Amino acid sequence: MEVVPSEQQPPLPYQPVTGKPWRLTMGLRPLPRHAWLEVDQHRERELTAKGDLLATTPDVVIGVAPGSDAAQRELETAIIDDLAEHHGLEVHSVARVDDAPIVRAARLVQEDLCLFERRGGTWEMTAACVCFPSRWTLSEKVGQNLSAIHGPVPGYAEALGGPVEALFNRLHPDRPVWRLNWTILDTNELHLPTPAARRGLHLPDDLSTMTFRIERQTLRTLPETGAICFTIRTYTAPLGELLADQPALAVDLAATLRTVDVEMATYKGWADLLPSLIAWLESPSG
C-alpha cells in the first residue's frame, strides 16, 4: 500500500556511488556540530506524513522498551536545542500530551530516530520512532542488540559486527559521525515496513522509473545518559531523472553493481533485476 510516496527529485544532496567494487564498510566520517539534522523544502509534507502514520499505525512506527525515558527526554531536548541553534526553528507544541518523548522529538524532524543503551554487555535499541524504514520491521528490532538487528544482512557479522560494536563503545559525545547507505527499489514509497518485499523487486518495463534511495545516518552519544542516538534521513530520486542530471553515474553504478555477490543481491531483492539493470545502464540510451 502506498502511504507516503516521495516527491523528492534530483539533485540528491549526496552521491555515494563511486564505481568501486561493492563492499560492506563502516564508511564513517566526522559529523560537524551544525550538521546533525537536515531541514529542506519537504519538511512540512514529510512531517504531515509522519503525523498520519503515528495516528493510524503507531505500533508499526513506534517502539519503546521500559527504562528508556531519561534517554528519550535527553534526545528530545537535544533536538529542540539543535533546531533552534542551527536551523533557526523555535519549536514546541506539535506534540500530543500522551506521546513518548522520542515521538515528540520525531514529530519535529524529517529524520527517523533510534536510541541505543548499553545493557547486559551489549548495545540494545531501547526506543525508536521510524516512519520511513527501508524494508525492515521496527517491532522485530526494538530491545535487540546490534548484531541481532543486522541478522538478515549477509556478511555483516564477519565484516562489520566487531567494528560497529567497538565504535559504539568509544563514540565520544563531542565527536559524532555519519555514513551513507544506498539502494535501488521498485517504489518511491518512503514507508516500507515489510521485509518480505525485499525478496524480489517487481521489475518494471521501464527501468528509469525505479527509485534510487539514500540513507544519511548519524550516530551521536548523548552526554548525560550515555545513550547513543542513531538518525536515519531518507532521500530518494527517480533513477532515470538522476541519470539525466548526472550522466557519469550510469557507468559507476553499472561497475559497482557488477561486483555485488549473490547473497547481497538476494538480500536487496535485486537477484532478477541485476542483469537487465546493468545492461540498461551500459546501453547508450540507459
Task: For ligand HEM, give the closer residue by CB, 82 or 215.
Answer: 215
Asked whether position 201 contacts ligand HEM by CB under 6 A, the answer is: no
Q: Which helix (H) or strand (E) holds 118?
A: strand 112-119
Could you tell me which residues are beta bridge partners of residue 233?
A: 216
Q: Which stretch binds ligand HEM (CB under 6 A): 34-42, 149-157, 206-214, 270-278?
A: 149-157
Calculate the CA 286 to chain-centre distance: 28
To ligand HEM, the closest distance from the beta carbon of 261 in angstroms equals 12
Asked whether position 171 contacts ligand HEM by CB under 6 A, the answer is: no
Asked whether position 162 contacts ligand HEM by CB under 6 A, the answer is: no
Q: Which of 13, 152, 204, 223 binds ligand HEM (CB under 6 A)?
A: 152
Asked whether position 274 contacts ligand HEM by CB under 6 A, the answer is: no
Asked if residue 161 lies in contact with residue 147, where contact means CB atoms within 8 angstroms, the answer is yes
To ligand HEM, the closest distance from the beta carbon of 123 in angstroms equals 8
Provide the grid cell at 247. 550522466
Q: Which stretch binds ligand HEM (CB under 6 A): 5-13, 59-67, 152-160, 249-257?
A: 152-160
Q: Which stretch binds ligand HEM (CB under 6 A): 7-15, 49-57, 176-184, 271-279?
A: 176-184
DSSP string, 182-234: EEEES--BS-B--GGGGG-----SSGGGSEEEEEEEEEEE-TTT--EEEEEEE
Asked whether position 114 contacts ligand HEM by CB under 6 A, the answer is: yes
To ligand HEM, the closest distance from the beta carbon of 86 in angstroms equals 22
Q: Which stretch binds ligand HEM (CB under 6 A): 8-16, 96-104, 160-168, 249-257?
A: 160-168
Cis omega before residue 13 (within 30°)?
Answer: no
Distances, alpha carbon 181 to alpha carbons 163, 190, 280, in Å:
17, 15, 23
To ligand HEM, the closest distance from the beta carbon of 92 in angstroms equals 27
Planar angle of CA 104, 109, 114, nearest 5 degrees: 70
Asked whether position 141 contacts ligand HEM by CB under 6 A, the answer is: yes
| Count of residues touching ligand HEM (by CB under 6 A) | 19
To ligand HEM, the closest distance from the beta carbon of 74 in angstroms equals 17
Q: In what order do the strands lie in the sheet with 211-221?
A: 29-30, 177-185, 211-221, 228-238, 112-119, 122-129, 62-64
Asked whether position 230 contacts ligand HEM by CB under 6 A, the answer is: yes
**CA atoms of 93 and 201, how far apart (whole Å):** 41
- Cα dihedral 16, 21, 24, 28 in deg (nearest 10): -40
Asked if residue 15 lies in contact with residue 246, where contact means CB atoms within 8 angstroms, the answer is yes
Asked whether position 265 contacts ligand HEM by CB under 6 A, the answer is: no
**CA atoms of 57 and 226, how far apart (whole Å):** 30
Asked whether position 149 contacts ligand HEM by CB under 6 A, the answer is: yes
Chain residues that interact with ligand HEM, rule: CB under 6 A: 24, 26, 114, 125, 136, 141, 149-150, 152-153, 160, 164, 167, 179, 181, 183, 195, 230, 268
